[in-house]
Amino acid sequence: MLPEKNKKCPECNDHLNYKDEKFCIHYSCDNCGFETLEWNQEGCCNDPILKPRKFYASDEGYFIDKNNYRIFNQCQNCGKKVGTALKRTDYQDAPFFDQKLEGKGLSERINVKNLANEIEARRKNRSRNNFEQDYQEYLKSDRWKKIREIVFERDHYMCQSCLSEKATEVHHTQGHFRFNEPLFSLVSVCSDCHRKITEMEQSVKRREMDLIKYKFDKEQNKHLS
């Protein structure tokens, strides 16, 4: 598989850089951070060197019949068995397949899987950052200013947490409604209460994460014992 040199970023239409990762091409955008891996369909590498090799018909190690083999192409670059069986009589003199090469190819493939995981983690991070950026913009919008005013008015400009201070901020009780808030999900608060509520929410989230981790560890241990 050859890299596409004039590939454009699907997110910002800028020019994409490419890097040959042996089994795939790693495209990345300097402008917006978009990344993707493109794989060879056959699952072989980007530079296949195919040679006919003898493969045992049975790969159950305890019963190898030296005469019971079939001929396949083995890629001499990545070790992969490629395609369908070739005619046995045409390749009587072919050597047996290279097991070491196959093992090396397998571990290189795992490295590519790790790379794919790293790219996915970076993508999630990017979309989180984009969300936060959009949200900060939204908080400056006229729409949000109007909503804030309506909520303050509804709550008589009083903090609905302590009912003693004047409200100066609007709190999202349900974060998932951000950008599209039903008014019942918003509440007027003073800055002191807002800070405390946010701290409480964060500690609840941490406890939930601890609980998930605890359950997960317990499950894991069950399998180990």
User: Which residues form the interface with Zn ion (CB under 5 A)?
Assistant: 9, 11-12, 14, 29, 31-32, 34, 44-45, 48, 75, 77-78, 159, 161-162, 165, 190, 193
DSSP reduced 3-state for 142: helix
For the chain, list the strands marked E by DSSP: 17-20, 24-28, 35-39, 50-56, 69-75, 81-86, 169-172, 186-189
Q: Tokens 């030296």 sit at which residue?
A: 66
* Between 4 and 11, CB nearer to Zn ion: 11
* Between 68 and 191, CB nearer to Zn ion: 191
CB of 87 to Zn ion, least distance (A): 22
Report the alpha-carbon distance of residue 36 to residue 24 in Å, rounded.
Answer: 10
Question: Largest Cα–Cα distance of the chain, in whole Å?
Answer: 94
CB of 88 to Zn ion, least distance (A): 23
> Do 194 and 148 meet the contact criterion of CB atoms below 8 Å apart?
no
* Between 43 and 95, CB nearer to Zn ion: 43
CB of 138 to Zn ion, least distance (A): 23
CB of 63 to Zn ion, least distance (A): 29
* Between 64 and 162, CB nearer to Zn ion: 162
> Do 46 and 24 meet the contact criterion of CB atoms below 8 Å apart?
yes
Per DSSP, 150 falls in state H
Cβ neighbours around 40 below 10 Å, total: 17
CB of 104 to Zn ion, least distance (A): 11
CB of 36 to Zn ion, least distance (A): 11
* Between 44 and 71, CB nearer to Zn ion: 44
> Do 112 and 37 meet the contact criterion of CB atoms below 8 Å apart?
yes
* Between 13 and 174, CB nearer to Zn ion: 13
Contacts of 104 (CB under 8 A, 6+ apart): 79
